[in-house]
């Protein structure tokens, strides 16, 4: 199934606009409603009340303008050129504005404009959660809220088939857009990074620019628009109020901790042979543990355990639980409801015996190749070489290139072979050469080292980028030998004094303002410990 596309797609707005235009091949005919002259007219009071509700919603919806400065993974000493983007936001309690994280991620400037207003008010990002795609903005001028009260939020999930209105500022115009549809699906699904949450699907049209706009049932917000399904028409996704409330409660102390989750690998119990092999009776339903997340003996789950309950709620053979009478969702949904002090109660069957366990849950799964999560990459320049920590953004640039994946996979590059791995030890990072050599005579005769992962420096295995900087700082050897992970990777040998002498010249010639990021320079400038 195509992956839901986030809105707005900052770098693909023009492409998506053209794509949407090409998809509209069927004209939408409008047939005037037939009026029964005998039918009673709507009461004037009812019309006025409806207009007042509509005006209250429109008054709470704002347009968000962002200037993005994304990181450049292959030139980590710089940022990408500024990119302008627009989205939507909604006024909430506390004189704040709620929007999507991707609307303001890496924004160097944020401004907000009210409906039917001509002025833009400067804003700052107060809280952000890239995983669940939510952010809170504060305005420099809070008098903005004097005539704009917050929008009321519903306290329960909508029902399937409820009529819904999506408000926002999509591309194709400048004024507020309102589209109509129904709630078509509610499920527990993956968002970004390792975060999952409830998600509402609607068939009201939402497009790039709608991100952060409220979805309304009756006169209350049921959630926030955040994506649509690429390649499909009128399949949009809403972050429900339940997820919004969890986020706002989390950031009340000024920082975002994240949502607890389990990262064990599970499989369904639908296959009869699997059930027979585990000697399970017909009355046992649940999910089978294929690989436990924890490896130490104290971890409560083991391979072939069957998870039958979460809290007091039964889990079926597809890993689903019932919410109310008409809704089934993945059982992991309840983790965010019942987890206490970092643990969630489970009932399991192991070796034919039922037992209760307390499973530790955490917001994040440590990754060897992590996401930048709104930060900029670390780097260090030494002579004509630029070293950086390998991140998801670093590998994303070529992950879809089949030739690269096959070639580097054949060479045994960890950029391919270790994608998805956890760190093998505390502090493990992959360190790679981020780009081709800076032009200099020191690189004469060597091939391009770009994207090669550092294995050793003078025989010392490199643990992470800071460790690499320590080794370069502390070594007294005349020569420096860099070796890389994989097959057919040539070694690079340089004279240490020449590398040190050339670095400032190279930085100046190439307009690089700093030899390294703040963290690596702190290591480089620190005094080596006495031996």
Average pLDDT per block of 10 residues along the chain, 531 residues long: 43 35 30 41 54 83 97 96 96 98 97 93 97 97 95 95 96 92 96 94 92 96 91 87 98 95 96 95 95 93 97 96 91 96 97 96 94 96 98 89 88 93 95 96 94 97 98 96 94 97 96 97 87 59
What pLDDT, on a 0 to 100 scale, did the predictor assign at position 232?
A: 72
Residues 6+ apart with CB under 8 A from 355: 347, 348, 349
Catalytic (active-site) positions:
102, 211
Q: Can you say how many angstroms the Cα of residue 445 is from the centroid of all Cα atoms in its chain?
A: 42
The pLDDT of residue 228:
83
Give Cβ neighbours of residue 179 (< 8 Å, ≥ 6 apart): 165, 166, 204, 205, 206
What ranges in 339-464 are assigned the alpha helix state H? 392-399, 402-410, 414-417
Strand bridging mode 220-229 / 236-240: antiparallel
Quick check: helix, strand or coil at residue 436?
coil
Q: In three state form, how does the secondary structure of 73-128 look? A: CCCCCCECCCEEEEEEEEEECCCEEEECHHHHCCEEEEEEEECCCCCCEEEEEEEE
Instruction: Locate 387 and state its tokens.
Output: 């070293």
Q: Residue 108 is encoded by which pair of tokens?
A: 């160097």
Residues of CATH 2.30.42.60 domain(s) within the chain? 265-360
**DSSP-assigned states of every residue in 438-473:** PS-GGGTT----TTPBEEEETTEEP-SHHHHHHHHH
Which residues, listed in sequence order, are joined to residue 185 by a DSSP beta bridge?
Answer: 201
Alpha carbons 229 and 353: distance in angstroms, whole number: 44
| Cα 388 from Cα 435, distance rounded (Å) | 9
> Can you name the residues that pair with 84 across neighbouring β-strands?
67
Instruction: Tell me how far CA of residue 221 lies from CA of 110, 152, 163, 212, 225, in angstroms.
Output: 24, 6, 12, 12, 11
Angstrom distance (rounded) from CA 92 to CA 302 = 45
pLDDT at 402: 87
Mark 134-155 as b/e (b = at least 16 C-beta within 10 Å).
Answer: bbbbebeeeebbeebebbbbbe
Give the CA distances from residue 153 to residues 101, 130, 181, 241, 407, in Å, rounded to whole numbers and listed in that order.
19, 22, 19, 7, 52
> Which fold does the domain 1-22+42-259 belong to in CATH?
Thrombin, subunit H (2.40.10)
Helix H or strand E segment including 478: none
Q: Residue 439, by phi and psi: left (phi above 0), alpha (psi -120 to 50) or beta?
A: beta
- Which residues belong to CATH 2.40.10.120 in the chain? 1-22+42-259
Asked whether the beta carbons of 76 and 379 are under 8 A apart, the reply is: yes
User: Contact at 8 Å (CB) between 278 and 173?
Assistant: no
Q: Where in the chain is the domain with CATH 3.20.190.20?
A: 379-524
Q: State the pLDDT at residue 531.
A: 59
Amino acid 51: pLDDT: 63
Element (H, E) at 15: helix 13-23
> Residue 530's pLDDT is what?
65
**Angle, CA of 462, 429 and 404, to the nearest 5°:** 100
CATH number attached to the domain at 265-360: 2.30.42.60
Specify the pLDDT at position 35: 36
Per-residue pLDDT, 13: 34
Cα separation, 303 vs 319, whole angstroms? 16
Q: What pLDDT score was predicted for residue 50?
A: 57
CATH class of 379-524: alpha beta
């Amino acid at each position: 199934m195509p992956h839901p596309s986030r809105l707005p797609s900052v770098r693909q707005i023009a492409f998506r606009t053209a794509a949407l235009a090409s998809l509209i091949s069927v004209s939408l005919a409008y047939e005037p409603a037939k009026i029964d002259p005998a039918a009673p007219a709507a009461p004037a009071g009812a019309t006025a009340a409806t207009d007042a509700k509509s005006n209250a919603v429109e008054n709470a919806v704002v347009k968000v303008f962002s200037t993005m400065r994304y990181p450049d993974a292959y030139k980590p000493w710089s940022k990408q050129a500024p990119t302008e983007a627009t989205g939507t936001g909604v006024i909430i309690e506390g004189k704040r504005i709620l929007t999507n994280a991707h609307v303001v991620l890496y924004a160097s400037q944020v401004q907000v404009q009210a409906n039917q207003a001509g002025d833009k008010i400067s804003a700052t990002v107060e809280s952000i959660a890239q995983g669940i795609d939510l952010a809170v903005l504060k305005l420099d001028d809070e008098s903005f809220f004097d005539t704009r009260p917050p929008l009321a939020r519903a306290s329960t999930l909508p029902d399937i088939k409820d009529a819904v209105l999506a408000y926002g500022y999509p591309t194709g115009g400048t004024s507020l857009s309102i589209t109509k549809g129904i709630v078509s699906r509610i499920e527990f699904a993956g968002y970004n990074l390792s975060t999952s949450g409830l998600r509402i699907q609607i068939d009201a049209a939402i497009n790039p620019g709608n991100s952060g706009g409220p979805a309304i049932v009756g006169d209350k917000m049921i959630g926030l628009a955040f994506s649509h399904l690429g390649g499909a028409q009128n399949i949009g996704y809403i972050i429900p109020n339940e997820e919004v409330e969890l986020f706002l409660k989390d950031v009340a102390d000024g920082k975002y901790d994240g949502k607890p989750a389990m990262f064990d690998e599970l499989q369904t119990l639908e296959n009869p042979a699997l059930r027979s092999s585990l000697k399970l009776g017909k009355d046992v339903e649940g999910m089978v543990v294929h690989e436990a997340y924890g490896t130490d003996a104290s971890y409560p789950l083991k391979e072939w355990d069957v998870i039958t309950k979460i809290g007091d709620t039964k889990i079926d053979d597809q890993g689903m639980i019932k919410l109310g009478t008409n809704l089934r969702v993945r059982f992991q949904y309840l983790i965010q409801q019942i987890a206490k002090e970092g643990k969630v109660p489970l009932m399991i069957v192991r070796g034919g015996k039922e037992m209760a366990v307390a499973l530790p849950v955490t917001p994040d799964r440590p990754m060897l190749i992590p996401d930048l999560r709104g930060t900029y990459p670390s780097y260090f320049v030494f002579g004509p070489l630029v070293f950086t920590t390998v991140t998801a953004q670093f590998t994303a640039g070529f992950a879809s290139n089949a030739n690269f994946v096959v070639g580097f996979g054949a060479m045994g590059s960890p950029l391919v072979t270790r994608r998805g791995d956890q760190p093998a030890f505390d502090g493990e990072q992959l360190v790679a050469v981020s780009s081709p050599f800076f032009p200099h005579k020191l690189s004469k005769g060597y091939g391009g080292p770009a994207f090669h992962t550092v294995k050793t420096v003078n025989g010392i295995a490199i643990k992470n980028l800071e460790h690499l900087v320590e080794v370069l700082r502390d070594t007294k050897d005349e020569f420096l030998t860099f070796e890389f992970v994989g097959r057919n990777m040539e070694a690079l040998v340089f004279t240490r004094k020449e590398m040190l002498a050339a670095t400032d010249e190279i930085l100046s010639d190439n307009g690089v303002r700093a030899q390294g990021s703040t963290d690596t320079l702190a290591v480089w400038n620190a005094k080596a410990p006495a031996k």
